[in-house]
Structure 1
Amino acid sequence: MSRIQLVVFDMAGTTVQDHNEVQRCFFEAADATGLKADPKKITAMMGWSKRLVFETLWQQQIGGDHPHYLHRVETSYQAFKHILENHYRTQPVLPTAGCLDVFDWLKSQDIQVALNTGFYRQVTDIILERLGWDRGLDKNYVGTTDSVIQVSVTPSEIYGNEGRPAPYMIQKAMYLLGIKDPQAVVVVGDTPSDLEAGINAHCRWSLGVTNGTHSREQLELYPNHGLLDSLSALKDKGIADPRDGFNCETPSNSNRSRPVHPLNQQSQDKIAKV
């Protein structure tokens, strides 16, 4: 059994506090640009690449073959970016409860920390800088054992800006850190797309936290290897020594159909964008 070498965390709602501010930014942008945004649909798409959310909503509203489809997607997306960036520049940006303690604990166990997100690179950089998590990262957003995180990956670094639930951001983080075995990787997030990305990447464990944007009842509908009440509970799950962890070789709800994305040529092409 491979030793755990890397934990890949989501950002907003998992490691960065989000009290529905991101959703409010979506709704504000939608309202300003004539897009109908159903709260349930927005919640279901949390964790996706943000542009993909607007593409999906506009396709549902007017159809992808509408002559103004691309223009309306771009208009809504640019409005959202302006609102979101202003939010993260002007409002408090804080780690979630227990996050930094978990990072320190993982470092003490010689386990690396990666962050991935549905955010594009520009706003991710704002968040990292506000938190001081950008210190020690190089031009490829790879850090050292002394930096708070060891790598940051966004859809902007993936060909076609393809985010979750595809596995490519996880695979990109593995590639940048020289980790070849997905069974040495744990994924943690607060949305269904986080869980699905971990499953699709064939990671050892794909874990959900239930104190973010989705409840336990919402997350347990999706394949997962365990649901945590908080990030702090990660330390009790045998991450440092999987022999002591919970038995989760087969994810719960594993009968739910899902795509599989092994690290084949397509995956290598996707993550080789940068």
Structure 2
Amino acid sequence: MTPESKPLIPMVVLDWAGTVVDHGSVAPVKALEDIFAAEGIDAPHSLVRKYMGLAKRDHVEALLWEPEIAAQVAHLHARRVTEEDVDRLYAQFEPQMMALLPGYAEVITGAAEVVEELRSRGIRLGGTTGYTRPMLDELMQLAAKQGYRTDASLCPEDVGAGRPHPWMCYRLAIDLRVYPLSRCVKVGDTPSDIEEGRNAGMWTIGLTRSGNAVGLTETEWKALDAPEQKRLLADAEKELRGAGAHLMAESVAHILPVLGEIEERIRTGELPL
């Protein structure tokens, strides 16, 4: 590819759950609710979703320190939350997720086709996640069987820390030999996705319908009436714009025109500030 023919956007980095698989990001929520329930702790659905996108140990720790949950730990054990509590619950999370993954790995409608279109344009495709490496490896195999592949995907343990740190995006840029990051795009469905992309100096696209903020499977979404769908999309957009998302789309199937808008802004010299 000659310098003149290189794409304006050299790399698009996509989140996994809620972005390209598992419409509504249901699996991690269920796994976390299950492991807390096994400890005799009620982890409210809204709190579990509050920290979606983080590395999963960070997610467990953040939940344990929520006042509502920390109070339950104090009642059960007559003490404050400890690192041992975090380690014990996190140790239960991975096997629970590995058991659930096959049932929640369906590629979101349009994801495989969009990625192949981007690849045909010479754009490199990366993936980042809050999942662990064994979870990500399993998920990549399941997605590949449905036609979805990235050029490289990373998890927090690959780089020493998860979102909102930008390290996974930096490492992908190195591994895929792309620059500048100011012309690359991060796509995701959680505030931590958006913060990751912005911290890396990238353009960001927040996904509303398919992700954590709406939190519904595709079947559940289609069962809603139009006014309720509109309300949920507006709430999701408000959350993601509040995290700093530059642009929005309902799902990954809708990002091509949004990427076109980013290309036009790049042509004018605009930076993702």
Which structure features the higher share of helix residues? 2
User: For structure 1, which segment, 236-245 or 67-76, has the greater mean C-alpha deviation from structure 2 after superposition?
Assistant: 236-245
Cα shift at 1:196: 0.8
In the alignment, which residue of structure 1 is the partner of 2:194? 195
- CA drift of 1:88 comes to 1.1
Tell me, yes or no, if structure 1 residue 109 matches structure 2 residue 121. Answer: yes
Out of 195, 198, 207, the residue aligned to residue 205 of structure 2 is 207
Q: Secondary structure at the match of 1:17?
A: coil
Deviation at residue 34 of structure 1 after TM alignment: 3.8
Q: CA deviation at 1:36?
A: 4.4
Alignment of structure 1 residues 44-59 onto 2, 5 Å: 44-59=50-65
Relative CO higher for 1 or 2, CA cutoff 8 Å, sep ≥ 6? 2
- The verdict on how the C-alpha distance between 1:78 and 1:197 changes in structure 2, with shifts beyond 3 A counting, is same
Q: How many residues align?
A: 235
1:86 to 91, 99, 103: 99
After superposition, the Cα gap between the structure-2 partners of 1:81 and 1:14, relative to the gap in structure 1 and judged at 3 Å, is same
AA aligned opposite 2:179: K
CA displacement, residues 83-129 of structure 1 (integer Å, 9 cap, x when unaligned) = 1110114x252111110111111011100110100001011111111
Cα distance, 1:178 vs. partner? 1.5
| Aligned-partner SS, 1:8 | strand
* Runs of 5+ unmatched residues, structure 1: 136-146, 255-274
Q: How many angstroms does 1:58 deviate by?
A: 2.4
Q: What RMSD over aligned residues (CA atoms) do the two structures have, in Å?
A: 2.9
CA shift for structure 1 position 8: 0.2
Asked which structure has the greater CA Rg, the reply is 2
3-state DSSP class of the match of 2:150?
coil
Quote the residue 1:4 is aligned against: 9
Structure 1 partner of 2:32: 26
Q: For residues 1-274 of structure 1, what are the structure 2 equivalents within 5 Å? A: 3-19=8-24, 20-60=26-66, 61=70, 69-89=82-102, 91=103, 93-132=105-144, 148-159=149-160, 162-203=161-202, 205-211=203-209, 212-214=211-213, 215-239=236-260, 242-243=263-264, 249=270
Displacement of 1:224: 1.3
Given that 1:238 and 1:245 are in contact with CA atoms closer than 8 Å, whether structure 2 keeps it comes out as no
Paired residues of 2:183 and 2:266 also in contact (CA < 8 A): no
Give the counterpart letter for 1:120 in structure 2. T
| Residue type of the alignment partner of 2:142 | R
Q: Find the residue that maps to 2:242 and give its secondary structure.
A: coil
Task: Report which stretch shifted further, 178-187 or 99-108.
Answer: 178-187
Q: Percent identity?
A: 25
Please list every run of 5 or more consecutive structure 2 residues that lacks an aligned counterpart in the other structure: 1-6, 214-235
Question: Residue 220 of structure 1 aligns to a residue in which SS?
Answer: helix
| Matches of 1:155 and 1:32, distance apart in 2 | 26
Q: Secondary structure at the match of 2:182?
A: helix
When normalised by structure 2's length, the TM-score is: 0.77
The amino acid that maps onto 1:77 is Y
Report the CA distance shift for 1:76/1:241 in structure 2 as closer, same or farther (over 3 A). Answer: closer
